[in-house]
C-alpha cells in the first residue's frame, strides 16, 4: 500500500504487517509527533490508530465498489513517551457489511501499553 503524500508519510508511519485480522504499524516519536512539551502527542496516537483501523477495514472490502471511512474513534492515553518508536496493533472486533469496529493497542519498545483505542469504520459504496 502506497502511503506517499499522506498524513501517514508526514508522521513517519510504516506498515510492518498486514492481513485481514491484524494490522501492525509503527510510528517514530520525534519532532513530527511531539506536542510542545516534547512528549508524544495524543493526536499522533489517534492518527496512528485510525490509520491502522482504516487500512485493516480496507482489506475486507472490494476497492472497486467500496470505500472505508473512520466515523468514530476514542482513545485512552495511559502512558507517554519522549523518543523511540511506538507500535499499533489493530484487530477487528466486528466486521459487518456497513460498519466495522477495530481495537487498536499502541505500545512502546518494551510492549508497555501507551494507548488503547476503538475505531468505528463505515463501509460506503462508491457511486
CB 18 within 8 A of CB 59: yes
> Strand 66-77's sheet: what is its strand order?
14-19, 22-29, 84-95, 99-107, 113-125, 66-77
Q: Examine the residue annotation and report whether 20 is marked as an active-site residue of this protein.
A: no
Nearest to 48 by CA among 98, 115, 97, 122: 115
**Catalytic, out of 20, 31, 50, 72:** 50
- List the catalytic residues: 50
Amino acid at each position: 500500500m502506497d502511503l506517499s503524500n499522506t498524513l501517514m508519510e508526514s508522521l513517519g508511519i510504516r506498515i510492518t504487517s498486514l492481513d485481514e485480522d491484524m494490522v501492525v504499524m509503527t510510528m517514530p516519536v520525534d519532532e513530527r509527533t511531539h506536542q510542545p512539551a516534547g512528549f508524544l502527542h495524543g493526536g499522533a496516537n489517534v492518527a496512528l490508530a485510525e490509520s491502522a483501523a482504516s487500512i485493516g477495514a480496507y482489506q475486507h472490502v472490494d476497492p472497486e465498489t467500496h470505500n472505508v471511512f473512520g466515523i468514530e474513534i476514542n482513545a485512552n492515553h495511559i502512558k507517554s513517551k519522549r523518543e523511540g518508536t511506538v507500535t499499533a496493533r489493530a484487530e477487528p472486533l466486528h466486521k459487518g457489511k456497513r460498519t466495522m469496529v477495530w481495537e487498536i493497542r499502541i505500545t512502546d519498545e518494551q510492549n508497555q501499553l501507551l494507548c488503547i483505542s476503538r475505531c468505528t469504520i463505515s463501509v460506503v459504496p462508491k457511486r
